[in-house]
Amino acid sequence: MYPLLTTCPVCGGELHAVRLACNDCHSGIDGQFTLGWIGRLSREQLEFVELMVKNRGNINSVAGDLRVAYNTARSRLDDIVAAPGYSAPPAEENGRPDRRAVLDRLAAKEISVEEAMKLLRS
């Protein structure tokens, strides 16, 4: 079997399935079947999602598996979130920094402990 193609190699449009078949009894069903939100992901994005599942959602571990920086992995995840039409959560709410975002930046060593404490206290 070949990996599932989700985008048209000719025009880049979203592909849909037209036939489903059973390996056991060899019956088949013809029609137009959507791949849902997963059909909007590229092969690379599907591989990233597989790594996220393997690593139980730990982006640091995914970054390690891919041998990329944490920020690169986070950016790829943001692209995947945007593919089905979702928007990224706001970085600040009520004028306060997002606690998780600050901790992620600290884990990625983008900011110092002192800077993180200052942001979390504000």
The structure tokens listed for 93 are 């709410």
> At 108, which amino acid appears?
A
pLDDT recorded at residue 91: 54
pLDDT recorded at residue 64: 93
Local confidence band at 89 (pLDDT 50, 70, 90 cut-offs): low
Backbone dihedral region for residue 7 (phi beyond 0: left; psi -120 to 50: alpha; all else: beta):
beta
The structure tokens listed for 105 are 């930046």
Is residue 90 pLDDT above 60, yes or no? no
Local confidence band at 95 (pLDDT 50, 70, 90 cut-offs): low
pLDDT recorded at residue 35: 80
| Least confidently predicted of 5-14, 48-57, 100-109 | 100-109
- In order, the DSSP letters of 16-57 are -EEEEE-TTT--EEEEEE--GGGGGS-HHHHHHHHHHHHTTT
> What pLDDT digit, counting tens, does each position of 18-71 carry?
999 999 999 999 999 888 888 788 888 999 999 999 999 999 999 999 999 888
Identify the burial level of 114 via C-beta atoms within 10 angstroms of its C-beta, where 0-12 means exposed, 13-18 middle and 19 or more buried: exposed
Is residue 13 pLDDT above 70, yes or no? yes
